Structures are given as C-alpha cells and as structure tokens.
C-alpha cells in the first residue's frame, strides 16, 4: 500500500513544515522523518482556533453532528492505510487497530447522536415573578456553553481512540470547541492520516478550517506551549503520572489557570472474595492472566493488583495464574521508553523487601513477557512503592489474613480508574463493607468482570480521584465527556431574540 504521508503539520487547513525534523522509531519497517513542533506553530494554530470559535462555537447542534459523522466516514475511508501505518509504528496487531478504529468512529457517531438530543445542554428556566414580594424575580435561563479552543495530547497506547480524533477531540468538537492536537511521537504517521481525514471532513461540511490543527511533537516545547498559550481554555491528556503532573502544574500556574483533564494511570485493584474463589478460583486466575496481558498490559485499566485471603485456595490461584501467564508469548511494546520503564518498574518491585518473584521474565528491547509477584497485606501496607503503576503485563497478588485486613488494604489505595469485586451471593456482607470504600477510590466499580474493556456509552465513567486523574468530577470516555468543555451561563432578562437558539424555547 502507498502511504500518502507529507511529514508535515496541519495548521488550519494548510500542511506546513516545522523549524526542524525528528525521526520516528517504528516497531517494524523503516523510520520516517517528520516536521518538528514549535511554540510558533502552536501560536498559529490557536489563533486560527480562536477565529474559528466565533462561528463554530455558535453553530447548530445539527451542523456539528454532521461534521462529527463526516470525520467518522473519512476515517473509515482511510481504514486500510491507518491499519498499515499504525501496525508499523506501534507493533499492535491489525485486529486490535481495526477494533480501535471502530471504537473511534463509533464514539464520533455517538456524540453526534447525543448532541442532537440536546439534553447535555442542561437547559433551565425560572420564569419571572413580577408580583413576588418583597422583591420581584427576574426571568433567568441557563444553558451550557462551549469554552473555546482546547488543547489535546495524543496518547501512546491508543493511537486512534485516545489520540488525534479520539475521545478528547471528539467531545470538544461536539461541545463546539476548536481543537489543537499535539501528535504523539510514537505514531506520527497514524496521526497524520487521521488528520487528513478530519481535514477532508472540514472541506466537505464547510466549517472553519481553524476548528482543527495537528502539531506534531518531537520535543517538550510543543506540549508546554499548548498548556501556556493564552488562548487555550482547557487541555485533555492521557499519559504518565510524571508527564501529566508536569503539564497540570503548568496549567494551574498560568496567569489565568485553566482546567487540565489528565488521565494519569492506575493499578486497578481486584478484591477476590472467599466464596467466589471457592466456586471458580481457577477460572478467575485464568481470566486475570488474560486481562493482565491484553495488549501487552498497556491499558490504563490493566488490573495489576489482586487481593485474596491467604490459604490453600490462594496458593492454588497463584499457581494457576503463574501457569497461564507463563504460556503468554512475548508481545511488542509501544515504544522503547515504555519497554524501559516496564523493566525498571519490575526491577523496583523485585527489590522490595517481602516480595516473592513468582514468575520472572525478560523484556528484550520492545518485546515483553509477563511478571508475577506475591506479597502479604502487611508488607503491602508498609511499602507504598508496590501501589505505583508499572505499565505492562505485571501483576502482584496480595494475600491478607482476613476480612478486616482486606478492608484496611482497600482504605490504603489512592485514587483509581477502576476497582473490582469478584463475589458470589454469600460474599455480599463483605462486599457491602468494601463498596462504600471503593466508590470513594475509583470512577468505576465492577462486580465479576475485568476492567480492561471500557464501554463507550452514556453511563460510563473513565476517571477517578487523583492520581488516576487530575479532575475527579470528569470522564474521558462516554457522552458525559462533553461536559468537560462546557460551562454554565445564566441569562437574566435577556430578550428572547438575543438568546442562543437552543434557549429561546
């Protein structure tokens, strides 16, 4: 297949060079050269975005819905090319990329359907009470309004669903906000082809070209410029705790602080309750191994920690998990940096006092196989390093003495994207004690499932308390993600003809 790659940035409908170049490091195939990002390009993109907001921010819901649907159609039209370059750059299998493309286009269509209904606007109306005593009440109406240009950082582990046209971009565009995307260095070619699809949708629907720009990365300057630009109204990010926290700090230290919606990672603990283990411990161990190694463990919802009551059933669970994990072939990790961090994280855990290495492995360059460790609840509580995310197929089994220690462990966790209860009906008393704790720790609580599948729907929350995210009241998946890029505005005694069309009724 011929890939029509320019290696350039897309700034408001124009493909432009950078001040320099950087070289990609694909998992397979030849490296390519791409234009380097810069603060000057970010400035140009945000000025175009602000100009676009004058029209796009006041476009109709139907116009925006058609634009989102056009993007989805243009992405699908380039499906073969996206799969080809995505597989070369990331090492992800074709089936995974095809599925992720379906998720990406599916959420664009879902957001289009959602904004057509109008419920997300949260429209409210308090009619005037001119005769109220002692003071009359004015006519007051409220509606959610778009905030303006949004900066989005592409994610390394989801080159489609969390990157150029992913959830952050789709939800901002649905809200009426232009977007400037910083492409991720792990998949610049994939980013460019998706940007080509968005550009084609812009031309098809006639929206202002400044509604979308792609500035490739290659340096820290580009990301910092997106956070600090005076026209940036919010930032969406999916990535590491260290990188996300650095960008978050930039956003809040600005002369005018802005919201930073960072999804920063999680260990996603599972609590394996006694009756569930007695009834189906072998199946749960195999299921954990499968979830732990899905996509080489490079999911932010990867269930890295399993908590179980000590005893013969816990020993059998550990042995079954070890056997299942040992049979998993080496998988290619997304980048050299992720592979290096995986090795370093495993070494750090192995060197922690009181930790048993159950299954050791090797990570040869970008090819990784699983690690499995075991420790006690007492040792877990004494070593906070064991609760830090290791991005990859690494699991820790924590054995506790009894229910009381399991509850204590639940209380010890910091913010998580997910927590899981594996339980049977007879486990309900213990689950009832754990659930109020777990719902304070995470954005999504599961029973009898594995968290690595994140459904894109109205009721989904993909977020959680810090350090899972920087904003516990938001989600980056599902239709509620649109709310991040809106703010409520009250209109008092404004003549109806001057009100936004959606508030005139």
Catalytic site positions: 263, 300
DSSP-derived letter for residue 244 is H
From CA 51, how far away is CA 368, in angstroms rounded?
47
User: Which of helix, strand or coil describes residue 8?
Assistant: coil
From CA 270, how far away is CA 441, in angstroms rounded?
13
- Residue 261's DSSP bridge partners are 236
From CA 120, how far away is CA 475, in angstroms rounded?
14
Residue 413: left (phi > 0), alpha (psi -120 to 50), or beta? Answer: beta
**Rg (Cα) of the chain, in Å, rounded?**
24
From CA 38, how far away is CA 45, in angstroms rounded?
11
How many other C-beta atoms can be found within 10 angstroms of the C-beta atom of residue 148?
21
- Residue 233's DSSP bridge partners are none
Cis-peptide into 467, omega within 30 deg? yes
From CA 308, how far away is CA 106, in angstroms rounded?
37
From CA 442, how far away is CA 161, in angstroms rounded?
22
Which residues neighbour 365 within 8 Å (Cβ) at sequence distance 6 or greater?
Answer: 336, 339
Residue 51: which H helix or E strand, with range? helix 39-56
Q: 234-238 and 150-153: which strand pairing?
A: parallel
How many other C-beta atoms can be found within 10 angstroms of the C-beta atom of residue 1?
8
Q: Of 268, 302, 269, 238, which Cα lies nearest the Cα of 474?
A: 238
Q: What is the DSSP string of 168-235?
A: HHHHHHHHT--EEEE--TT-HHHHHHHHHHHHHHHHHHT--GGGEEEE--SSHHHHHHHHH-TT--EE
């Amino acid at each position: 297949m011929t890939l029509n790659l320019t290696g350039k940035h897309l700034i408001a409908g124009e493909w432009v060079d950078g001040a320099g170049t950087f070289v990609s490091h694909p998992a397979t195939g030849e490296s390519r050269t791409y234009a380097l990002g810069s603060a000057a390009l970010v400035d140009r993109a945000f000025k175009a975005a602000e100009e676009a907001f004058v029209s796009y921010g006041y476009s109709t819901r139907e116009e925006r819905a058609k634009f989102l649907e056009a993007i989805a159609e243009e992405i699908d039209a380039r499906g073969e090319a996206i799969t080809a370059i995505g597989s070369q750059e990331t090492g992800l299998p074709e089936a995974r990329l095809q599925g992720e493309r379906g998720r990406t286009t599916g959420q664009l269509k879902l957001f289009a359907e959602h904004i057509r209904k109008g419920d997300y606007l949260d429209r409210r109306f308090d009619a005037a009470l001119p005769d109220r005593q002692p003071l009359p009440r004015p006519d007051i109406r409220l509606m959610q309004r778009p905030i303006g240009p949004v900066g989005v950082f592409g994610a390394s582990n989801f080159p489609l669903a969390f990157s150029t046209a992913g959830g952050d971009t789709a939800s901002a565009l649905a809200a009426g906000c232009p977007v400037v995307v910083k492409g991720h260095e792990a998949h610049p070619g994939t980013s460019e082809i998706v940007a080509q699809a968005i550009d084609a949708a812009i031309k098809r629907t006639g929206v202002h070209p400044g509604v979308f720009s792609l500035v490739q990365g290659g340096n820290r300057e580009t990301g910092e410029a997106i956070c600090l630009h005076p026209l940036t109204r919010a930032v969406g990010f999916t990535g590491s705790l260290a990188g996300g926290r650095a960008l978050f700090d930039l956003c809040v230290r600005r002369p005018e602080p802005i919201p930073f919606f960072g999804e920063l990672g999680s260990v996603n603990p599972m609590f394996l309750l006694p009756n569930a283990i007695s009834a189906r411990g072998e199946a749960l161990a195999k299921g954990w191994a499968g979830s732990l190694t899905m996509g080489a463990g490079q999911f932010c919802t990867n269930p890295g920690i399993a908590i179980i009551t000590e005893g013969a059933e816990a020993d059998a669970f550990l042995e079954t998990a070890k056997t299942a994990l040992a049979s998993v072939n080496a998988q290619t990790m997304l980048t050299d940096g992720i592979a290096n961090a995986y090795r370093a994280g495993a070494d750090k855990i192995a060197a922690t006092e009181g930790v048993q290495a159950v299954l050791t492995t090797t990570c040869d360059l970008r090819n990784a196989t699983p690690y499995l460790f075991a420790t006690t609840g007492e040792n877990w509580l004494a070593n906070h390093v064991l609760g830090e995310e290791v991005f990859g197929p690494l699991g820790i089994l924590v054995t506790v003495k009894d229910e009381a220690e399991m509850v204590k462990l639940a209380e010890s966790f910091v913010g998580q994207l997910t927590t899981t209860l594996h339980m049977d009906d007879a486990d309900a008393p213990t689950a009832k004690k754990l659930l109020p704790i777990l719902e304070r720790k995470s954005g999504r609580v599961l029973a009898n499932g594995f968290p690595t599948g994140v459904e894109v729907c109205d009721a989904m929350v993909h977020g959680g308390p810090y350090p899972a995210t920087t904003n516990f009241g938001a989600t980056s998946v599902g239709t509620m993600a649109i709310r991040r890029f809106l703010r409520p505005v009250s209109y008092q005694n404004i003549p109806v003809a001057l009100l936004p069309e959606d508030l005139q009724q």
